[in-house]
Amino acid sequence: MKFIHLADVHLGAVPDRGTAWSGSREEEIWTTFRRIIAGIRENPVDLLFISGDLFHRRPLRKELREVNSLFAAIPETNVYIIAGNHDHLDAGSAYRSFKWAENVVFFDSEEVMCIDDDRMPVTVYGFSLCENEIREPLLRDVCPEEGDGYHILLAHGGDEKHVPIDFTALASAGFDYVALGHIHKPQVIVKDRIIYPGSPEPLDRNETGPHGYVEGFTDDDGIIHTRFVPAAARTYEDITLELDEETTQNDLEDTLSDMIAESGLQNIYRVVLTGQRSPDLMLLPEKLKNCGNIVDIRDESRLMYDLEMLEKKYAGTLVGDYIRYFSLKDTTEVEEKALDYGLQALLETSMR
Ligand SMILES: [Mn+2]
């Protein structure tokens, strides 16, 4: 038996709205989903699980027709779908009346339903979210029925506001595999058994690192194994630039451009500036954004002071007294920090 477990595709989402690459990201979410289905067409699997939030919001009928035609093109694969909190089954949802292709099962109830697969010795359990917020631990008493074959559960949620899950209880409930959705970064709760595959494409700047889906297969002894398959067109990455006394704006732009060329021009970056910068540095953080797809620049660097010079210059003022207080004693590490932060604050106010 071979299966693919997808979740949180979020078709229709528009990541990084307002940036130059936002429109492409909206398309890439669809393209990556199509590419995964095309991959199944080439290398068929028996089952495809989609554990909620296939759509970013209530799907339109035309969007359902689109995904349905993709599923119809992989007739050797049975597709099981549940609704998540984003595409939850509200009264007006197009999910409620849609006629799916023969190989598609959509779980249209908030109660856990179970369905025997018509080709494999597999029973699939699942339920859809009918509201955005559900604080009830709906999985509390769910366990597989008696019977041979594999028992696989699809569920969406796991945080306080979206179907809280007691993972210890779930691990001992007796399912052979639990295909979870809701958490956008891939997360293995129990190896080969309880997994959040994460969203195939990252959806915002906090979703750094690899994104894709989970592939599962049984070995000769019938044991299920899984592996993570990266699928995203691009990833979000963090870059840290450490400044020192010598650093110039030009150095920063060169280093940043090189680092981005190395880790992928298509990727999207969050940049943090650390270290100590010279008072003589002409720092233009916004200009660094021309070095690539940069969604955020945070300047955590600290000014480097010439304490003796400052003490003389500000003698008789609060700033001068502050430096004098610290210079008359052996300072601890904490006091050094206090000096540094305090001085920066005082200088910033006295210069205003
Ligand atoms: Mn969700």
How many Å lie between the centroid of ligand 1 and the Cα of residue 76? 28
- The CA-CA-CA angle for residues 155, 223, 137, to 5°, reads 20
- Residue 34's nearest CA partner among 3, 60, 6 is 6
Compute the CA torsion angle 83, 86, 91, 95 (nearest 10 deg).
-40
pLDDT tens figures, 312-344: 888 888 888 888 888 887 878 788 778 877 887
How many Å lie between the centroid of ligand 1 and the Cα of residue 182? 4
CA atoms within 13 A on the CB side of 254: 5
Strand residue runs (E) in 27-149: 47-51, 78-82, 104-106, 113-116, 122-126
How many Å lie between the centroid of ligand 1 and the Cα of residue 181? 7
How many Å lie between the centroid of ligand 1 and the Cα of residue 129? 10
* Tens digits of pLDDT across the chain (352 residues): 999 999 999 999 999 999 999 999 999 999 999 999 999 999 999 999 999 999 999 999 999 999 999 999 999 999 999 999 999 999 999 999 999 999 999 999 999 999 999 999 999 999 999 999 999 998 998 999 988 999 999 999 999 999 999 999 999 999 999 999 999 999 999 999 999 999 999 999 999 999 999 999 999 999 999 999 999 999 999 999 999 999 999 999 999 999 999 999 999 999 999 999 887 888 899 999 999 999 999 998 888 877 888 888 888 888 888 888 888 878 787 887 788 778 878 877 765 5
The Cα-based distances of 186 to 17, 86, 106, 180 in angstroms read 24, 18, 24, 10
Tell me the torsion sign for CA atoms 216, 218, 224, 226: negative
pLDDT tens figures, 186-224: 999 999 999 999 999 999 999 999 999 999 999 999 999
The Cα-based distances of 212 to 71, 184, 202, 260 in angstroms read 19, 10, 9, 22
DSSP letter (8 states) at residue 185: S
Tell me the torsion sign for CA atoms 160, 164, 169, 175: negative
- Residue 201's nearest CA partner among 3, 27, 64, 4 is 27
| Site of tokens 């984003």 | 86
Extents of the domains making up the chain: 2-230, 238-351
DSSP letter (8 states) at residue 246: T
Residues whose beta carbons lie less than 5 angstroms from ion ligand 1: 53, 84-85, 182
| Site of tokens 């639990």 | 178
How many Å lie between the centroid of ligand 1 and the Cα of residue 55? 10
How many Å lie between the centroid of ligand 1 and the Cα of residue 56? 9
How many Å lie between the centroid of ligand 1 and the Cα of residue 187? 14
How many Å lie between the centroid of ligand 1 and the Cα of residue 269? 24
Start-to-end Cα distance in the chain: 69
Pick the CATH number of 2-230 from 3.30.70.520, 3.60.21.10, 3.30.70.2740, 3.20.20.140: 3.60.21.10
Helices 318-327 and 333-351, packing angle to 10 deg: 170
How many Å lie between the centroid of ligand 1 and the Cα of residue 304? 46
How many Å lie between the centroid of ligand 1 and the Cα of residue 336? 45
- Is there a contact between 204 and 15 (Cβ–Cβ < 8 Å)? yes
Q: Determine the residue type at 18.
A: G
